Amino acid sequence: MIQENFIKYIETSLKENWEICALTDYQGENYKYSDVARRIAKIHIMFEECDVKKGDKIALIGKNSANWAITYLAIISYGAVVVPILPDFLPNDVHHIVNHSDSIVLFSGDPIWENLDEKSMPNLRAIFSLTDYKLLIEGKSENIKNIYNKLDTFYEDLYPGGITAEKLSFDEISNEEVGVLNYTSGTTGFSKGVVLPLNSLAANIRFARRNLPLDPGDNVVSFLPLAHTYGCAFEFLWPFSIGCHIHFLTRTPSPKIIVQAFQEVKPTIVVTVPLIIEKIYKKQILPALDKKSMQFLLNVPLIDKAIYSKIKKKLTDVFGGNFKEVIIGGAALNKDVELFLNKIGFNFTIGYGMTECGPLISYANWDKIKLGSAGSMVDTLEIKIDSSDPYNEVGEIMVRGENLMYGYYKNVEATEQAIDKDGWLHTGDLGVIDEENFVFIKGRNKSLILGSSGENIYPEEIEAKLNNMPYIQESVIIQKDNKLIALVYPDLEAVDQKKINEARLTEIMEENKKAVNLELAKYMQIAKIKIYPEEFEKTPKRSIKRFLYSATEL
């Protein structure tokens, strides 16, 4: 019987699946569970010899890879706190997170390390390469290099002849201890470090093990950012805990590469974001459906069913043809796409979550999902709708329970705003529930935008930079067709003073777009600036009512 403890989940899986394949870098090296255990043991020895304490913060940045996963497990099973950082963050953002989190060690992918400045992270005792675990930098008055050079000797002394499943044993660590410090953003003014206890990770794994369709030995493709809780929990931690074989896309996950990997690996379950589904629908399915001959055939009884069955088979093959269901999360799925997938009987489901819950809030298996819902409330949380009639009147979705974060790191004010005195997390999302606790999200009260691969995009960050550009008074960032559009209200007084005409103003805005994009990570870059003719409508507190502009026609 596996103990309901996060560290025990990991230890037990390593022992029980010792000789089977655990991790693979796509089209690269394979690692058995025994290989993972060996590497974890060496990292633990390194930490021990370097006097890394339980609870110390250790930052981790790099693209999805077996080494990323091994390092994550090593940090957390040692009793330290992992600080995962998105590889797309700009160097200054990485420096800020490392410093703000009080990290003492950094593991970095080599391409990222080339652009970082160790002098901007003065509290780091050591920096290691995530590519080959080479020691890159050691702090002043440290003896880490000597320890690193003797690591194999230390390992042999502790495990003569090598580690075995019988010898593997992690220290007992309570689920109440902090496991992850996950930053929702990079820029200084908007950073919030979500403090997640191990219990949050364990609660997500426990729910998944009881309710989601995976078995030991099943294949999983990991392409969502592991630095986000969605990808980390459901493409890595949960599958690893039951002995699955996880294939990491170590390159930029374009839809073409993702589909190629699905067809080669043939995963048992697919975890994805709406953009991937929507692109396939828009580029491969919709053009065929829009043909006049197809429109005619779809109105003929029996023939329409045969056509839809063929489309379902084709779409199933795109994802490898072996999956039990496709789980879609991270953002709202286009309603037309959802209706079509439902019509053809495609095995898909939609979940809902947020970093502060590590991440899962609601989910239902594909054959139990209700159209238009984001699944039913998970049994590790309670839900409350802040309205007089939660079944019919839209209100803010509030949750509390095992999944919940402890708060935001070194930010008491933000924590008190998010979690009330009764322990309810105010999600900032609007919705209703039904009698079976299915959640129907009706709108986003928060401004968060999800990028194409599930990256968190905070429009205020981009707007703050834009508003400092020439001839811009204020701006609103919206998303249209998965692209970021900046609605800009010009500084008309300055425009008039300089006698700038409309054509020249358009040129200036194009220059502003190029300039601001140089300061932004790729997934945050603006595709277009549209000049807005009047000042944006404000609340009494002078905040822009951004929800009025989310559906602006461009």
* In a domain? residue 214: no
CATH label of the domain that carries residue 472: 3.30.300.30
CB neighbour list of residue 147: distance below 8 Å, 6 or more residues apart:
46, 49, 50, 154
Structure tokens at 526: 């603006």
Say if residues 121 and 100 touch (Cβ distance below 8 Å): no
Among residues 177, 199, 221, the one where a domain terminates is 199
Place of tokens 């200036």: 508
* In a domain? residue 425: no
Among 12-21, 87-96, 115-124, 530-539, the minimum mean pLDDT is found in 530-539
CA 264: distance to chain centroid?
Answer: 24
Name the average pLDDT for the chain: 91
Apex CA 534: angle with CA 531 and CA 540, to 5°? 125
Please give the full DSSP string across 123-143, using - where no structure is assigned. T-SEEEETTT--EEEE-TT--
Please give the full DSSP string across 153-170, using - where no structure is assigned. HHHHHHSTT---TTT--P
DSSP 8-state class, residue 344: T
* In a domain? residue 366: no
| Peptide bond between residue 255 and the one before it cis (omega within 30 degrees of 0) | no
Provide φ and ψ at 242, rounded to 5°. Answer: -115, 10
Determine what percent of the chain is predicted with pLDDT higher than 90.
73
Nearest to 462, CA basis, from 502, 512, 510: 512
pLDDT at 442: 81
Among residues 182, 199, 216, the one where a domain terminates is 199
Place of tokens 């953003």: 185
* In a domain? residue 424: no
Q: How far is residue 425's CA from residue 414's CA, in Å, rounded to a whole number?
A: 12
pLDDT in tens, 461-503: 888 889 888 999 899 999 988 899 999 999 998 899 899 999 9
Q: How far is residue 281's CA from residue 289's CA, in Å, rounded to a whole number?
A: 10
* In a domain? residue 49: yes
**Does residue 13 register a pLDDT over 80?**
yes
Q: From its phi and psi, is residue 461 left (phi > 0), alpha (psi between -120 and 50) or beta? A: alpha
pLDDT at 550: 67
Nearest to 376, CA basis, from 445, 444, 440, 442: 440
pLDDT in tens, 96-137: 999 999 999 999 999 999 999 999 999 999 999 999 999 999
Confidence of residue 1 (pLDDT cuts 50, 70, 90): very low
* In a domain? residue 377: no
Among residues 154, 170, 199, the one where a domain terminates is 199
* In a domain? residue 360: no
Burial class (CB in 10 A: 0-12, 13-18, 19+), 156: exposed
State how far the alpha carbon of 361 is from the alpha carbons of 57, 418, 476, 551, in Å: 27, 16, 29, 27
State how far the alpha carbon of 407 is from the alpha carbons of 178, 187, 417, in Å: 11, 19, 10
Count other C-beta atoms under 10 Å from residue 16's C-beta.
14
* In a domain? residue 421: no
Range of the domain at 496: 460-549
pLDDT in tens, 241-291: 999 999 999 877 777 888 899 999 999 999 998 878 888 887 788 888 878
Provide φ and ψ at 221, rounded to 5°. Answer: -105, 125
- Of the two residues 183 and 554, the one the predictor is more confident about is 183
CATH label of the domain that carries residue 165: 3.40.50.12780
Determine what percent of the chain is predicted with pLDDT higher than 70.
96
Nearest to 213, CA basis, from 326, 72, 89: 326
CA 410: distance to chain centroid?
Answer: 22
Q: How many domains does the chain have?
A: 2
pLDDT in tens, 163-195: 999 999 999 999 999 999 999 765 545 679 999
Q: How far is residue 277's CA from residue 464's CA, in Å, rounded to a whole number?
A: 32
